[in-house]
Chain A
Amino acid sequence: MVSVTLSLFALVAVLRFSIGAPDSLVGTYFLLPIALAGMEFGWRGGVFGAALSSAAIIAWAVSQDAALPPSEIVARCGFLALFGTWFGVLGARMSQAVTDRGVIADQMLYMEALTVHGMIRLDRSGVVTGWNRGASEILGYSEAEAQALSLTVIFGDDEAGSSFREMLDGALRHGLWDEERWVIAKDGRRLRAAISVTPLGSGRRSGFALVIGDLTAREAARHESSRMWELSFQLLATIRFDGYFQHLNPRWEELLGWTTEELLARPMSDFIHPEDVERTDVRLAQRAQGIVVSPEHEMRLRCRDGSYRSLLWNSIASLDDGLLYAAALDVTERRRQEAAIEVANKELEAFSYSVSHDLRAPLRAIDGYTQAILEDFGEELPAQAQSDFARVRAASQRMSLLIDEMLALSRVTRRELRSGSVDLSGLADEITGELRGQAGEREVEATIERGLHVAGDPELLRLVLHNLLENAWKFTAHTEGARVSLSTVARADGRATLAVRDNGAGFDMRYADKLFLPFERLHRQDEFPGTGVGLATVARVLRRHGGAIWAEGAPGEGASFFFDLQTAQEPHAQDHA
């Protein structure tokens, strides 16, 4: 290009100076090569061309023995410099525009090739002039097929949608036409699609660009969620922040007996139990303001028949939509059962109270009057009668003991579980100390592992340890070198089980499952006294703590009682100080 421009300059110079044009035209011949230089090299090219032309004019003027006055030369050179620069800039702009158009066209081609959207170019009468791969994939027609196609075929089957012509006219009028509608693919499938049409250019060669996006996947997802919405056994709703239901799934009609229309027509508070309205309103307002509250909420809704259902709600607030997305669970039955259990507990309480109070009164009378007879007539009674009366008294007192134990057992069940941290080692020390005090002369070696801490109800766990250690003490009564211990046993799963062991009378494993049943005993009263309630109480306490107890033993070889508290934290050894 450089050589072409330079040769042109040379040619003009030779022509000008050999042929000899009128003086007034000197310089104007140079305008063409200057313009060329400007188009090719920008304003610098123009300036350079102008400078070159000026140099040629000056050289010529000098060779003609100053036929031109210097002022004329300066004017012509200035003229050339001005035009040269102007042509240069103009040329540079033109060439940039050409390049840009090329780049845009390239970019459009890339885009059309790469996008998953269908991109269709149409002339102003709506005939297809461009059809990308996306369009082929969505609609099934190849580019060649499309060019012979009238697009009314594609856009013809949606009564709710606009006709093809309406879309083009709309695009012309508004600059852009957007529409979500059905389109027909080559194989006859109806597809949900997003269509955008925009006019291209404004001259006679103008046409349209049409972009088509496939919404089938989105529609499928929407369909799926709406089917789930219909199918769910749960009650689903969206609730507007102004306190109205926005959308309800069919379960609501089934549960409450109102039609969906009735439920949507009135504010939610019209259906809420009067006692729950304020609480619910406050919560809704909090959620609408984006205040974080626990997502669960319970309230009662009125059915058409006037009854109420208790609902447990879980919800997410969406401030963008102004909606609460909510799922509700009908807990009416659960609450009813809880109330029934409450009543049953009250009755059990009353029963226990009555047992505690009334069952003992006759025993007191039996014991009291037997004693009265012995006191008043003792001397007149034969020895046999006296010993029989002693048995009557012993029996009534034992029954009183059984009643006490039974009440203690039921108290373990009725009592509310308190939580605390329990130092089992310290507790065991205390208990063995007490037992040692009661045991008098007996020698018992007690080994307590240090640092056993568990979480649980301190009073009930004391009951557990007391019963187990007292048993160990009792059943080693006839054993030489009696030993009792509290320790942990490592388990395969890494957790620890606690064990109370003794080397006393033991038991036959065949009867092991009877150990923890109330009033069941594996030893005769004259061997080892007891009521058979202690281990039942222990088992019940541990069960309430989510734990368990089991035992191993053999007659004459001692017994081991293993237990754990699963819901509570596992026992762990602290400093073995």
Chain B
Amino acid sequence: MLRTTRRSPILLVEDNPDDEDLTRRAFRRSSIANDLDVVRDGQEALDYLFGNGGPAKQVPALILLDLKLPKVDGLEVLKQIRAHARTRLVPVVILTSSREQTDLLASYGHGANSYVRKPVNFEEFSENVRQLGLYWLDVNEPPPIPADA
């Protein structure tokens, strides 16, 4: 039985409240209707996904992951996501300000599906977010989630 659908929530891992709010606005301007769940550091993201100290939430349809995060950084979260059967196949998009080569290499190396740089210009940013949602939640055929997950 598949427990994720295109209607499952999007998980945004973002510590900056402004960026969180701007991302929400960008989603609002697009036609994406999925819930947007937000966690504010790497540890919260792991708790959300694997239910440490509480029930695990539904596996998200898409994870938007910042790299520079308090407590557990984005790359570590990515590694954990790819290491667990439950979340192994979930599309993960790195959404970050960094353009450092090392970040690009590490992100793809650990199995990110996509790497998007947040532009300063809000119009570009919201266009990027719109296209992201459109592609991953509409155009792209999502992976089946294992029944035992």
CB within 8 Å of B: which residues of A? 352-353, 356-358, 360-365, 367-372, 393, 396-397, 399-400, 404, 407
Contacts and interface: CB of A to CB of B under 8 A. Distances in A.
Contact of B18 (A362, A393, A399, A404): A362
Interface in B83-135: 96-100, 118-123, 125
B121 A361 contact: no
Nearest to B103: A353
B19 interface: yes
Given A361-B97, A364-B125, A365-B19, A372 B25 contact: yes
Interface in B54-110: 67-68, 96-100
14 contacts: A353-B100, A356-B97, A356-B99, A357-B67, A360-B118, A360-B120, A361-B19, A361-B97, A364-B18, A365-B18, A367-B121, A369-B18, A399-B120, A400-B120
A12 B120 CA distance: 143
Contact of A368 (B18, B68, B100): B18
A495 B67 CA distance: 49
Contact of B122 (A357, A360, A368, A407): A368
B98 A353 contact: yes
Contact of A364 (B22, B98, B100): B22
Interface residues of B, number: 19
Contacts of A396: 120
B140 interface: no
A357 B16 CA distance: 11
Contacts of A404: 99
Contact of B123 (A352, A361, A371): A371
Contacts of B125: 364, 368
Nearest first, the 9 closest Cβ-Cβ pairs linking A and B are A365-B18, A400-B120, A368-B122, A371-B122, A368-B22, A360-B97, A363-B120, A357-B97, A357-B68
Contacts of B120: 360, 363-364, 367, 396-397, 399-400
A365 B97 contact: no
Nearest to B22: A368
B13 to A, nearest CB: 14
B121 A356 contact: no
A364 B122 contact: yes
A358 B118 contact: no
Nearest to A376: B25
Which of A361, A369, A396 has the largest count of B CB atoms less than 10 A from its CB? A361
